[in-house]
């Protein structure tokens, strides 16, 4: 489940009235449409090809447009090293990361004197979600793009049209070693004092102890004013921003000495010029193991230079003393003023409606239970300037929420243990018997014997231990036993899947050791019919059906032929009675051709360019997908998969067509599946099927040479040469037709 934290950092400084007026008149209106001031993208391996992806973004909350808020969702593209979108991963090649405003970390810093040059306000957020990334040659590139940057940035060309790309590269070696990218250090302060040294420790941490190399680098361009929020983003390689002379990578902000980064320590040093200005800066962290490059992390941020007179900086650290009740935190005052002295401090804490205050430099507070805490510190300098820092954080003891405290499983089965956990804590499990991972929050457990697991948690300050019991017993299950799993789909449809009762995995009829025979009983929607070797099956709610499973097993060393097979049969019957309600109820579509009259009955807006009937052109037959408002579906908004292989909103079919067209539409967790039921101009089973090699001269089917083959479900040949539906006995038949340029197979129901 996706989580995030949000913070805003706001410096509101008293400004000379004349300077404020000059700035207000000099900045163009288009400044109000800008907002991007920094960001980066990181990943953490969770095991079993699962990765936690973290997108950190910073926006201008003073000059940014109200419409340029944080994206909901943020779309991160998944590419290979050649820049090709990996549509089979995530959501059609994207990781859609949710922004939830009810789970935030807010930092507000106010200045009421001591700075000239204008206010500065930065709003920060972190999106976090998980993604499956299987091993792939060359690895992956993850990217997020957003437009645009602040107009007042001095060191790059056309910043108002210069969007940003935040990306991270994951090599195939990183995938093979379950590597995690370095944890980048905190961002520099949102403003610097002019005519003053720059000295920031931007050192990153690496969980695996890999070698890190730091360097200043050029920020990437991405997105534009026309498409400010591309979904999906474009793939690599990416263009670089262009610096304005005299600025360049070796001289990003002016000043002597120029801005530089130590490649070993990550320390950023330099000197600012004595003027009000705004600059764009980026640095890269390269991660090496045994001389091999594993990943490259890239961060850019905006540097604001102001003229400083007295600058108190409110700051504090919060440490948890222990996890017992009452919960206690120790506050350490780190406030400072480079131009004056801090002379007073006022602390205010609000927890579950109760307020506490303190005036000492480093107070300690107690809380009866966990929950959200709002902690503020107001400091005042000897020059009379004050600064306020407010942090809202969750007080947690890190205890995971288990699915159960004890459970019994069959030998060979596995089970999940933890439902939710606190990502601020590290979790370590013992013993390791049957666990999918040991240093992780949510392992799967499949021990060979009954086991009590101990999970130890720590966030560096608070520690604790919990237990969970998994009992194992030997279970004997019919090898042929099958279970039915159902899934509600829009439009009253139900996806029915036959699964192995022993493994819980879907049965695969394509394998030679499994046969599936479905019998669906008559309903108001359809007659009785049978289907073989298909799983899952698409039915209507209320349908009654039976399934016969036939399995073949061979002893080791024996030929895999039927005379040496152990054969078992299992039968299950069921009537679908589901309450299919949920967020996908309105996710509904309609299939139609302009030959159906649905366009008049349902007010469908069928484009004239697509309205070719079965007698149009070279015997084309076009079927299109419409939304509930009667509009042709936009294929860029959905993942559309036709049984013909098309990914568009419509398909063109050749020759006669009978009841075999299917389509699946996906978006997020919602899935809609449809089937086009008509056969040419007639419904199947009417006995009035147009035969293409018999149509009169002048019809669109003339001169078409086709070959027909009709078989029964058991493979027995019933008709050859031509299709004669009037001579067929009631039942279900497979009809195969082929021409010079096409081949089709469909089911025909004779009644």
In tens, the pLDDT along 640-665 reads 988 877 888 888 765 555 556 788 88
Among 75-79, 244-248, 388-392, the range scoring the smallest mean pLDDT is 388-392
C-beta separation of 280 from 159 below 8 A = yes
Among 374-378, 438-442, 556-560, the range scoring the smallest mean pLDDT is 556-560
Name the residue with higher pLDDT: 184 or 339.
184
Please give the helix or strand (H or E) that residue 19 lies within, else none: helix 17-26
C-beta separation of 105 from 10 below 8 A = no
Predicted pLDDT at 106: 35
Peptide bond into 29 cis (omega under 30): no
CB contact set of 548 (below 8 Å; sequence gap of 6+): 516, 517, 519, 569, 570, 571
C-beta separation of 28 from 126 below 8 A = no
% of the chain at pLDDT higher than 90: 34
pLDDT, tens only, 13-24:
333 332 333 333
Report the alpha-carbon distance of residue 398 to residue 424 in Å, rounded: 8
Domains of the chain: 3-308 (no CATH), 312-392 (2.60.40.10), 401-473 (2.60.40.10), 482-575 (2.60.40), 589-672 (no CATH)
pLDDT averaged over every residue in the chain: 79
Among 27-31, 499-503, 651-655, the range scoring the smallest mean pLDDT is 27-31
Report the alpha-carbon distance of residue 88 to residue 146 in Å, rounded: 24
The answer on pLDDT for 250 being more than 90 is yes
pLDDT class of 601 with cuts at 50, 70, 90: low
% of the chain at pLDDT higher than 70: 79
SS3 685: coil
Predicted pLDDT at 259: 94
Among 209-213, 630-634, 692-696, the range scoring the smallest mean pLDDT is 692-696
Instruction: Burial-class residue 601 by CB neighbours within 10 Å (0-12, 13-18, 19+).
Output: exposed
C-beta separation of 53 from 131 below 8 A = yes
pLDDT class of 737 with cuts at 50, 70, 90: low
Predicted pLDDT at 613: 42
First to last CA, the chain: 51
In 323-475, where do the E strands start and end? 327-333, 336-337, 342-351, 354-358, 364-367, 371-381, 386-395, 401-402, 406-410, 415-416, 418-420, 426-430, 444-445, 451-458, 463-473
pLDDT class of 205 with cuts at 50, 70, 90: very high
User: Beta partners for 638?
Assistant: none
Report the alpha-carbon distance of residue 677 to residue 538 in Å, rounded: 13
- A 10 A CB-CB count for 139 gives 19
Predicted pLDDT at 30: 35
pLDDT, tens only, 215-238:
999 999 988 888 888 999 999 999
Backbone angles phi, psi at 583, to 5 degrees: -70, -15
Predicted pLDDT at 332: 94
Say what the alpha-carbon torsion angle 38, 31, 229, 46 is, to the nearest 10 degrees: 20
- A 10 A CB-CB count for 1 gives 9
DSSP per-residue string spanning 115-139: EES--EEEEEEEEEEEEE----TT-
pLDDT, tens only, 705-722:
556 788 876 678 888 877
Report the alpha-carbon distance of residue 600 to residue 193 in Å, rounded: 69
pLDDT class of 599 with cuts at 50, 70, 90: low
Predicted pLDDT at 232: 92
Report the alpha-carbon distance of residue 405 to residue 468 in Å, rounded: 5
pLDDT class of 28 with cuts at 50, 70, 90: very low
b/e per residue 251-284 (b: at least 16 CB within 10 A):
bbbbbeebbbbeeeebebebbbeeebbbbbbbbb
Kindly state the tokens that stand for 619: 């015997």
Distances (CA, A) of 434 to 177, 444, 456: 21, 8, 17
Name the residue with higher pLDDT: 141 or 61.
141
Backbone angles phi, psi at 534, to 5 degrees: -135, 135
SS3 674: strand
Name the residue with higher pLDDT: 722 or 175.
175
Predicted pLDDT at 595: 58
CB contact set of 354 (below 8 Å; sequence gap of 6+): none
C-beta separation of 93 from 83 below 8 A = no
Among 376, 419, 423, which Cα is nearest to 396's?
423
Q: Are strands 406-410 and 426-430 parallel, antiparallel or unpaired?
A: unpaired
Predicted pLDDT at 377: 94
Predicted pLDDT at 63: 65
The answer on pLDDT for 604 being more than 50 is yes
The answer on pLDDT for 114 being more than 90 is no
Q: Which residue has the tokens 């302060």?
A: 189
């Amino acid at each position: 489940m996706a989580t995030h934290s949000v913070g805003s950092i706001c410096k509101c400084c008293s400004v000379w009235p004349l300077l404020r007026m000059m700035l207000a008149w000099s900045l163009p209106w288009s400044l109000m449409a800008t907002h991007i001031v920094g960001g980066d993208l990181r990943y953490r391996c969770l095991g079993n090809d699962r990765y936690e992806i973290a997108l950190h973004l910073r926006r201008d909350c003073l000059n940014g447009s109200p419409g340029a808020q944080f994206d909901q969702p943020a779309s991160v593209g998944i590419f290979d090293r050649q820049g090709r979108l990996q549509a089979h991963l995530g959501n059609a090649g994207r990781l859609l990361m949710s922004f939830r405003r009810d789970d935030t970390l807010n930092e507000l810093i106010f200045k009421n004197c001591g700075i000239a040059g204008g206010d500065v306000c930065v709003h920060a957020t972190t999106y976090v979600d998980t993604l499956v990334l299987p091993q792939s040659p060359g690895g992956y590139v993850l990217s997020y793009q957003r437009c645009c940057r602040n107009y007042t940035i001095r060191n790059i060309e056309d910043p108002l049209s210069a969007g940003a790309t935040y990306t991270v590269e994951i090599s195939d070696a990183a995938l093979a070693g379950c590597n995690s990218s370095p944890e980048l250090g905190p961002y520099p302060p949102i403003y610097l004092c002019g005519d003053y040294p720059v000295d920031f420790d931007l050192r990153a941490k690496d969980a695996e102890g890999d070698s890190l190399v730091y360097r200043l680098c050029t920020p990437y361009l991405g997105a534009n004013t026309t498409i400010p929020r591309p979904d999906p983003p474009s793939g690599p390689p990416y263009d670089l921003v262009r610096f304005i002379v005299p600025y360049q990578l070796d001289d990003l902000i002016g000043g002597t000495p120029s801005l530089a980064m130590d490649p070993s320590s990550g320390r950023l040093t330099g000197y600012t010029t004595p003027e009000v200005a705004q600059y764009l800066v980026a640095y890269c962290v390269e991660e090496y193991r045994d001389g091999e490059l594993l990943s490259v992390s890239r961060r850019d941020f905006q540097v604001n230079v102001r003229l400083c007179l007295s600058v108190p900086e409110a700051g504090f650290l919060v440490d948890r003393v222990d996890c017992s009740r009452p919960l206690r935190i120790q506050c350490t005052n780190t406030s400072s003023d480079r131009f004056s002295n801090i002379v007073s401090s006022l602390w205010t804490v609000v927890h579950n409606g109760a307020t506490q205050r303190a005036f000492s430099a480093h107070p300690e507070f107690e809380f009866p239970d966990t929950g959200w805490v709002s902690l503020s510190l107001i400091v005042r300098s000897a020059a009379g300037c004050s600064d306020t820092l407010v942090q809202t954080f969750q007080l947690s003891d890190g205890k995971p929420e288990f699915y159960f405290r004890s459970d019994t499983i069959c030998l060979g089965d596995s089970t999940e243990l933890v439902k939710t956990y606190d990502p601020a804590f590290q979790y370590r499990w013992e013993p390791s018997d049957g666990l999918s991972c040991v240093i992780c929050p949510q392992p799967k457990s499949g021990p060979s014997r009954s086991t009590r697991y101990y999970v130890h948690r720590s966030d560096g300050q608070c520690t604790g231990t919990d237990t969970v019991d998994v009992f194992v017993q030997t279970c004997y299950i019919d090898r042929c036993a099958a279970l039915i799993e159902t899934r509600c789909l829009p439009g009253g449809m139900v996806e029915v899947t036959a699964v192995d009762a022993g493994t819980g995995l879907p049965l695969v009829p394509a394998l030679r050791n499994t046969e599936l025979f479905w019998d669906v009983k008559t309903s108001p929607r359809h007659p009785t019919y049978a289907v073989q070797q298909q799983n899952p099956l698409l039915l209507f709610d209320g349908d009654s059906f039976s399934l016969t499973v036939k399995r073949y097993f061979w002893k080791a060393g024996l030929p895999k032929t039927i005379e040496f097979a152990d054969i078992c049969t299992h039968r299950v019957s069921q009537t679908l009675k589901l309450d299919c309600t949920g967020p996908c109820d309105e996710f509904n579509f309609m299939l139609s051709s302009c030959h159906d009259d649905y366009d008049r009955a349902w007010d469908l807006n069928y484009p004239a360019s697509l309205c070719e009937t079965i007698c149009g052109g070279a015997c084309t037959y076009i079927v299109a997908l419409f939304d509930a408002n009667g509009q042709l579906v936009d294929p860029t908004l959905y993942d559309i998969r036709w049984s013909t292989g098309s990914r568009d909103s419509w398909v063109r079919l050749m020759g006669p067509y009978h009841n075999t067209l299917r389509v699946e539409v996906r978006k997020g967790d919602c899935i809609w599946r449809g089937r086009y039921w008509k056969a040419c101009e007639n419904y199947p089973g009417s006995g009035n099927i147009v035969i293409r090699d018999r149509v009169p001269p002048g019809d669109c089917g003339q001169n078409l040479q086709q070959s027909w083959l009709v078989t029964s479900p058991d493979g027995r040949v019933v008709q050859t040469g031509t299709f004669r539906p009037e001579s067929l006995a009631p039942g279900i038949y497979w009809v195969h037709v082929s021409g010079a340029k096409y081949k089709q197979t469909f089911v025909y129901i004779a009644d």
